[in-house]
Amino acid sequence: MIECVQAKFLRPIPWPPRSVLEESLPSVTLIGRSNVGKSTLTGSLLGSTKLVRSSKTPGRTVDVIAFRCTWKNHHTGEKKDFHLFDTPGRGYAVQDKGTIQHLEDTLAAVYAEQPQGREPSILLSLLDIRRDLSAKDKELHGFLNASWSQLMLIATKTDKLSKSKQKPALAKLGKSVGAQCVASPFANPEAAGALRSLLWDALLS
Ligand SMILES: Nc1nc2c(ncn2[C@@H]2O[C@H](COP(=O)(O)OP(=O)(O)OP(=O)(O)O)[C@@H](O)[C@H]2O)c(=O)[nH]1
Ligand SMILES: [Mg+2]
CATH number of the structural domain spanning residue 139: 3.40.50.300
| Distance from the alpha carbon of residue 185 to the mean position of ligand 1, in angstroms | 12
* Strands of the sheet with 27-32, listed across from one edge: 2-13, 64-73, 79-86, 27-32, 121-128, 151-156, 181-183
Q: In Å, what is the CA distance from 125 to each residue of 74, 151, 183?
A: 28, 7, 12
- E strands, 14-164, where? 27-32, 64-73, 79-86, 121-128, 151-156
Q: Is 15 in the pocket of ligand 1 (CB under 6 A)?
A: no
pLDDT of residue 151: 87
pLDDT of residue 19: 47
Q: What is the pTM of this model?
A: 0.87
DSSP tag of 161:
S
Helices (H), 55-134: 99-112
Half-sphere exposure of residue 85: CA atoms within 13 angstroms, side-chain side: 31
Residue bearing the CA closest to ligand 1, atom 12? 35
The tens place of each residue's pLDDT in the chain, 205 residues long, gives: 888 888 887 766 654 444 445 567 788 889 888 889 998 999 999 987 777 776 666 555 556 788 889 999 999 999 999 888 888 776 544 444 455 556 656 666 555 555 555 566 788 999 999 998 888 788 778 877 877 778 899 999 999 999 999 999 999 999 988 888 899 999 888 899 999 999 999 988 7
Which ligand lies nearest the alpha carbon of 36?
1
Q: Can you give the residue range of the structural domain that contains 63?
A: 2-204
**If DSSP codes are grouped into helix, strand and coil, which group holds residue 126?**
strand
d(CA 15, CA 200): 28
d(CA 30, CA 122): 9
| Distance from the alpha carbon of residue 46 to the mean position of ligand 2, in angstroms | 14
pLDDT of residue 17: 46
d(CA 82, CA 36): 23
d(CA 31, CA 102): 12
Q: Which atom of ligand 1 is nearest to the CA of 156?
A: 31
Residue bearing the CA closest to ligand 1, atom 32? 157
* CB-based contact 89:62 (threshold 8 Å): no
d(CA 55, CA 35): 8
Number of folded domains in the chain?
Answer: 1
pLDDT of residue 72: 95
- Could you tell which of 30, 31, 54 is best to mutate to test the pocket of ligand 1, judged by most ligand atoms within 8 Å of the CB? 54
